[in-house]
Structure 1
Amino acid sequence: MHYYLVSPIKIIRADAHSFTYAHPERLPVGALVVIEVGSAQCVGIIMSAVVKPEFTVKEIVQFLDDAPVPLPLVQTALWMSSYYHTHLATVWQTILPRGLTKKRRHPPLRATGPQASQPPTTALTPDQSAAITAIDDMLPGSALLHGVTGSGKTRVYIELARRLIDEGLSSIILVPEIALTSQLVTEFARYFDNVILTHSRQTEAERHVTWQHVINSRDPLIVIGPRSALFTPVQQLGLVVIDECHEPSFKQEQSPRYSALRTAAILARQHEAKLVLGSATPTISDYFLAKTAGRPIITMPSPARSDAVKPRVSLVDMTKRTNFTQHFFLSDQLLSAITGSLNAGHQALIFHNRRGTAAITLCEQCGWNAGCPRCFVPLTLHADRHQLLCHICGFTATVPTSCPECHHADIIHKGLGTKRIEAELHKLFPASTIARFDADTSTNDAADKRYDELKNGSIDIIIGTQVIAKGLDLPHLRTVGVVQADAGLTLPDFSSSERTFQLLAQVVGRVGRSHHATNVIVQTFQPDHPAIRDGLAQNYADFYARTIAQRRATNFPPFVYLLKLTCVYKTEAAAIRNAKKLAQTLRAAAPADVHILGPTPAFYERVRDTYRWQLILKSPRRSDLVSLLDLVPPAHWQAELDPTSLL
């Protein structure tokens, strides 16, 4: 008999991650097995062989015949559990696909393009050649690829992956949105016939079959997908690329609340692979950390096309109503640019980072406004469904025809959302094909499903939230309009101006990639705000210099580590009482240089009939925050280390 520590993929005991089991055969670390826990069965992973214990142990019920989980992935899971102070079973639920014990048929998985394995026909630019050489020459570890929008970062990724395939090594390419997978798969499939796509919209069976195909493959592969694709079990990994690495979607919101950037660095280290973080607008913290750690920062300051013409960028002051004589929220300049592009047979893109039709529904007579009874936030009007919707908990209500308090019929809807913009543009341009992309768009109409229509120009006007602001390369696009550029600046968060800068720099980057003249028209109530000025000019250097000085002065990342603690209770009194109690406990135990802010109401104080209060802890040492987590009661409290936002 052989004895093993096996880690179940569901939590058996909060204080134990692995249990001892026996098996007549020798099994490798990482092997997937079925074990008995009480009277139930569950999947587990063999963590190590151990000597025969003095107590009686159960036998492993079944050995699953897939290859073992690669050792570097097992080591990364252990690191995640420790670094994010999360039970190992929760980490396994993030890494492993569901339905591991089910037998599947193996449908073909290849995402092959029409010219698979053909060498690229266009020559590399000097910037691209220099970037590839720098990454080739560096030791395993991370590099920041800081290339302006349109500089050809994707071609760099393809060349790096091509060289590694020849060495028998796989590559994992991460994108921030499922919407961007189609574009990247199309690009890579022109040169490789072993491209694997994986993402959360696939069925359980599809994801399991992909997992089985990859874990049993001895051939080098190219894996493309959003955050979770990082855990695809390739055997020999040579490269991880995180494209648009500044995006918040690379931080998981649910436990284990991991950062794909930090976790990819550990996975790459375990494989002795290279990690490339690509962005035109890297986060202030990542840029600072790369500088201070002495990691390569590779710049690509020029567009890939030598004939590329910079877009003409115009700022429209929304406080001056003379700019809006034809329409109340689409300026004369923006309408003129859209009309010009459509008349020439080209596309226009309208960006606004708020979905729905109107943000507030109120009575003009008495001031009553429609709010969510569970979350106490204004309900958003969705006119296409004739519904009021809470964007936090999903509560719906019918649109009132009269005020429920004073019974007057003077109900008005204020504020703008993408659905309102879509409705207005349908009135103004009835002959045009208009498509909206946001969180309300159905899966079948999402950007990845309609990528060919976006690319070939058959959609005339594209409307959307940040889903469409990033990464897409649209050759027929000539006009970009931003309806209200300063919408995110009022949010009470240390990263709000950085997010505004990134979104604007990215949305401007959708044009100016070819020899065609293009327009960017940006409407804002704050035309002189530095984040808006720098974003539109894509002036990263000035924005970084100013923001890093502010972060140092106000003691925010990257100069401190953060821990966000949020309590959730049925009554406000209980939330306040318990938040104060924990604050007192933490202040008594924390080192002098750990600052504890609060307790204060959370940004969304009431969610789904519960009250939320929060504490923010700042520390120069992350280990102090991890230690203090042991004092946080597991019931009623949510903890997030390294939050990207304090909202």
Structure 2
Amino acid sequence: MPFIQVYVEPLALSLNQMFTYHSKEKLERGIRVKVEFNHKEMVAIVMGECEKPTDFQAKEILEVLDEKPLLNDELFELAEYMSNTYVASKMSCFKTMLPPSLRVQSKTKPIIMEEWFEQGEGMSSLTPKAKELFEKLQPMLPMRSSLFRKQAKTHTKQLLEKGYIRSIKREKQEEIASDYEEDRPPILSEDQEKAIETIRNEENSTFLLHGVTGSGKTEVFLQLAKETIEQGKQVLFLVPEIGLTPLMIQRVKARFQQKIAIYHSQLSASEKYQQYQMVKNKEVQIVVGTRSACFMPFHDLGLILMDEEHDTSYKQDAMPKYHTRDIALFRSAYHHCKLVLASATPSLESYARAYKGLYTLVELKRRIAKSMPKIELVDLREGEVEGGLSKNLLDKIQDRLAKKEQTILLLNRRGYLPVMKCRKCEETILCPDCGIALSYHRSENTLVCHCCGNTYPNTNTCPKCGSHDFYQHGMGTEKLEGSIQTKFPEAKIVRMDADTTRKKNAHQKLLKAFEEEGDILIGTQMVAKGLDFPNVTLVGILQADAGLVRSDYRANETTYEMLEQASGRAGRADKEGEVLIQTFDRSHYVMESVLNHDYRKFFQTEMQYRHLGNYPPFTYMATLIFSHAELSQALFEARKVKDELKEQRVLGPIEISMRQKKKRVRLLLKDKSQEHLETTIWALAHRYKSNAVKLEINMHPLMLEE
């Protein structure tokens, strides 16, 4: 009777160890089983056989859940890498890799099955009508029972009873993407041909494709993918957000006219399972998806293409807090395939690596169609402003409407009013869980926390003094939409933000509506990237300075990326593009860099500040967040841990915003050595014993929690 080592489903770091059970049969690594753990039935994943334990009596495995392993050798190695790098339990890594229907957890979502009919061995005689019908349907077997019953109607029962057909169960198949008209490759520019040649022939495995907006980076992707597919290998297309997925799917489907796998968070559990199985069973060569697609069970991966590589959406905010770029680098090395990171505004980390020669830098410096759009910085301290919009911008919107051209307005703040503040007592209505200001959403008459997502009814009453009089300062996309509609009543306006894109396929529907009949697209940062509408000739950016006042060390970088990306939505075809950026500080180096489309100037200036402040890419960082209902308790634990980390450079403790009604305190650790930092944090995780104060670890954070 073999003894088996398993990881059990609790994700806590304190349980990040293998436990021993005995089994009635040999079990392969990667199979799920049910075991008794801590007096409860739990799901575990098999790691392999071991010697009989001498110091305790091993319990027996209760049930084997899989016939074949769910994870291959590569994914086990990847889980080991993720666990070590991000100080996360192995089980949290396994859970992240698998689709919901296969995850290692007690409340596993069932795989949806459906009934099919297949041909039986019936020999008994049939009525003439039943015989005629069976002869007609026989060539189409096996087929869904629902479809068969529609055509056979009253004869299905007879055919089943006499054995001409028999019922079987199959995993339900989901239809996700439709076919698209064939897209023929365009004539490549000289820069594109040179880029493809470099990536094809260079020995380095990692490339940074830095191309200005509209320079044809996606076409380079498609040409490289074509060569890989012709070699019989698989290609992974990664995009940062769901909103960009339909656009990439459309391009890929139109070009290759073949079945592809699609993977992102808005798919149902059964849809995710189906897409996962398609890759595992070698039914597709192409996968398009967001960060979770990087865990697909590839067998012969030949190319990884990571679009908008700078985007912070590639960083997972739940344990394990991995970065997709790191996973892509791991899988590229494992499969000995090339990885292409692409962006008009590369992250400082990636550009610095390319600058040092660790990545090969490939540049597309010119647009395919027209020159870069003309950019104008509008100083809000001068000139006429109406409802947050300069007269200059309003005049240009009117001009575009007259010319039947399209406009995009970017305001990176959703809702109607960003803050509800009482005029009488100056009280601001706060989220009781997070302690930050609630935003007013007029369409639903609710107060919403844009941090935790909680929604509260709007009573229009100050909780402190009972007044019903609130300031109306500030503006979100909802208020902007109403204001623009009032000024231009004939305009067809489409709003795209987190509120309008909640429903499945909403991104695709909104973009299609704007493309076909929209005049003005209003949205948050999701309209700043990846959109390619030839009739958009004007982009207006409101409250451009808002991101610069954040205390985060990446505030300037994220603001630059958003402004430059948004500017690139204008003038992408034959018509000239124009961009108006409303600002209070025209002389800021971020604004000057955007004005001149000068990424290199931004990079050099920002790197000087990063070096002075000892921030990435000049150092490695980790944050430790201590949570407790009482601030004093969280501070006590944070100070105690800081005292233990005397050899480290530790900043803090500092109080940050609440979560789930718990006070939070942050320590920030910096280290010149990534390996030393990871070793230090793992040692802390093993010895941290407090049951009252929760410790949350974020290795290599992109943003500092506020």
Question: Scaled by the length of structure 2, what TM-score is found?
Answer: 0.84
Which deviates more from structure 2 when the two are superposed, residues 571-580 or residues 526-535?
571-580
Aligned equivalents of 1:430, 1:112: Cα separation in 2: 35
1:123: which partner in 2?
Answer: 187
How far off its partner does 1:126 sit? 1.5
1:278: which partner in 2?
Answer: 342
Aligned sequence identity (%) = 30
2:699: which partner in 1?
Answer: 641
Among candidates 252, 257, 280, match of residue 321 of structure 2: 257
How far off its partner does 1:389 sit? 2.3
Among candidates 88, 91, 114, match of residue 89 of structure 1: 91
- Rg larger in 1 or in 2? 2
2:280: which partner in 1?
Answer: 215
**SS of residue paired to 1:584:** helix
1:451: which partner in 2?
Answer: 511
2:298: which partner in 1?
Answer: 234
Counterpart of 1:450 in structure 2: which amino acid?
L
Among candidates 312, 320, 345, match of residue 374 of structure 2: 312
Structure 2: give runs of 5+ residues left out of the alignment. 103-109, 114-170
2:666: which partner in 1?
Answer: 614
Q: 1:49 to 1:155 in 2, by over 3 A?
A: farther
Aligned equivalents of 1:601, 1:25: Cα separation in 2: 52
How far off its partner does 1:260 sit? 0.4
Q: 1:239 to 1:57 in 2, by over 3 A?
A: farther
Aligned equivalents of 1:211, 1:403: Cα separation in 2: 51
Aligned equivalents of 2:530, 2:488: Cα separation in 1: 27
Can you list the C-alpha shifts for 1:80-115, whole angstroms capped at 9, x where unaligned?
Answer: 111111110000111111223635424255745334
- Number of residues of Structure 1 aligned to a counterpart in Structure 2: 629
Counterpart of 1:107 in structure 2: which amino acid?
Q
Contact 1:90/1:256 (CA < 8 Å) preserved in 2?
yes
Q: 1:167 to 1:569 in 2, by over 3 A?
A: same
Among candidates 203, 206, 216, match of residue 142 of structure 1: 206
Aligned equivalents of 1:26, 1:475: Cα separation in 2: 57
Contact 1:455/1:475 (CA < 8 Å) preserved in 2?
no
Contact 1:433/1:459 (CA < 8 Å) preserved in 2?
yes
Aligned equivalents of 1:262, 1:559: Cα separation in 2: 18
Q: 1:6 to 1:396 in 2, by over 3 A?
A: closer
Alignment of 1:39-50 (within 5 A): 44-48=44-48
The answer to whether structure 1 residue 151 and structure 2 residue 206 are counterparts is: no
Alignment of 1:183-582 (within 5 A): 183-192=247-256, 193-217=258-282, 219-305=283-369, 308-320=370-382, 322-324=383-385, 327-399=386-458, 401=460, 403=462, 405-406=464-465, 409-441=468-500, 442-444=502-504, 446-456=506-516, 458-582=517-641
Aligned equivalents of 2:388, 2:405: Cα separation in 1: 23
How far off its partner does 1:59 sit? 5.4
Counterpart of 2:384 in structure 1: which amino acid?
N
How far off its partner does 1:42 sit? 5.3
Counterpart of 2:79 in structure 1: which amino acid?
A
Contact 2:627/2:695 (CA < 8 Å) preserved in 1?
yes
Contact 1:350/1:483 (CA < 8 Å) preserved in 2?
yes
How far off its partner does 1:433 sit? 1.7
Q: CA RMSD in A?
A: 2.5
Contact 1:143/1:276 (CA < 8 Å) preserved in 2?
yes
Aligned equivalents of 2:410, 2:549: Cα separation in 1: 18
Aligned equivalents of 1:68, 1:314: Cα separation in 2: 55
Counterpart of 1:574 in structure 2: which amino acid?
Q
Q: 1:413 to 1:371 in 2, by over 3 A?
A: farther
**SS of residue paired to 2:579:** strand
Aligned equivalents of 1:528, 1:169: Cα separation in 2: 50
Q: 1:46 to 1:153 in 2, by over 3 A?
A: farther
Q: 1:114 to 1:407 in 2, by over 3 A?
A: closer
2:679: which partner in 1?
Answer: 627
Q: 1:475 to 1:575 in 2, by over 3 A?
A: same
Counterpart of 1:246 in structure 2: which amino acid?
H
1:597: which partner in 2?
Answer: 651
How far off its partner does 1:35 sit? 3.9
How far off its partner does 1:432 sit? 1.8
Contact 1:86/1:255 (CA < 8 Å) preserved in 2?
yes
Structure 1: give runs of 5+ residues left out of the alignment. none
Q: 1:112 to 1:171 in 2, by over 3 A?
A: farther
Aligned equivalents of 1:401, 1:75: Cα separation in 2: 55
2:32: which partner in 1?
Answer: 33
How far off its partner does 1:319 sit? 1.5
Contact 1:66/1:216 (CA < 8 Å) preserved in 2?
no
**SS of residue paired to 1:448:** helix
Aligned equivalents of 1:310, 1:335: Cα separation in 2: 22
Which deviates more from structure 2 when the two are superposed, residues 49-58 or residues 255-264?
49-58
Q: 1:301 to 1:309 in 2, by over 3 A?
A: closer
Counterpart of 1:597 in structure 2: which amino acid?
L
1:16: which partner in 2?
Answer: 17
Which deviates more from structure 2 when the two are superposed, residues 157-166 or residues 12-21?
12-21
Can you list the C-alpha shifts for 1:380-431, whole angstroms capped at 9, x where unaligned?
Answer: 1212222222222344444455655555554222212111101111211222
How far off its partner does 1:443 sit? 1.7
Contact 2:3/2:20 (CA < 8 Å) preserved in 1?
no
Question: Scaled by the length of structure 1, what TM-score is found?
Answer: 0.91
**SS of residue paired to 2:585:** coil
Among candidates 231, 242, 247, match of residue 178 of structure 1: 242
Contact 2:35/2:63 (CA < 8 Å) preserved in 1?
yes
How far off its partner does 1:527 sit? 1.4
Contact 1:317/1:323 (CA < 8 Å) preserved in 2?
no
Aligned equivalents of 1:407, 1:447: Cα separation in 2: 40
Aligned equivalents of 2:472, 2:546: Cα separation in 1: 18
Which deviates more from structure 2 when the two are superposed, residues 65-74 or residues 429-438?
65-74
Q: 1:3 to 1:459 in 2, by over 3 A?
A: farther
1:80: which partner in 2?
Answer: 82
Aligned equivalents of 1:272, 1:46: Cα separation in 2: 28
Contact 2:387/2:483 (CA < 8 Å) preserved in 1?
no
Can you list the C-alpha shifts for 1:358-390, whole angstroms capped at 9, x where unaligned?
Answer: 122223343233233443322212122222222
**SS of residue paired to 1:413:** coil
How far off its partner does 1:347 sit? 1.4
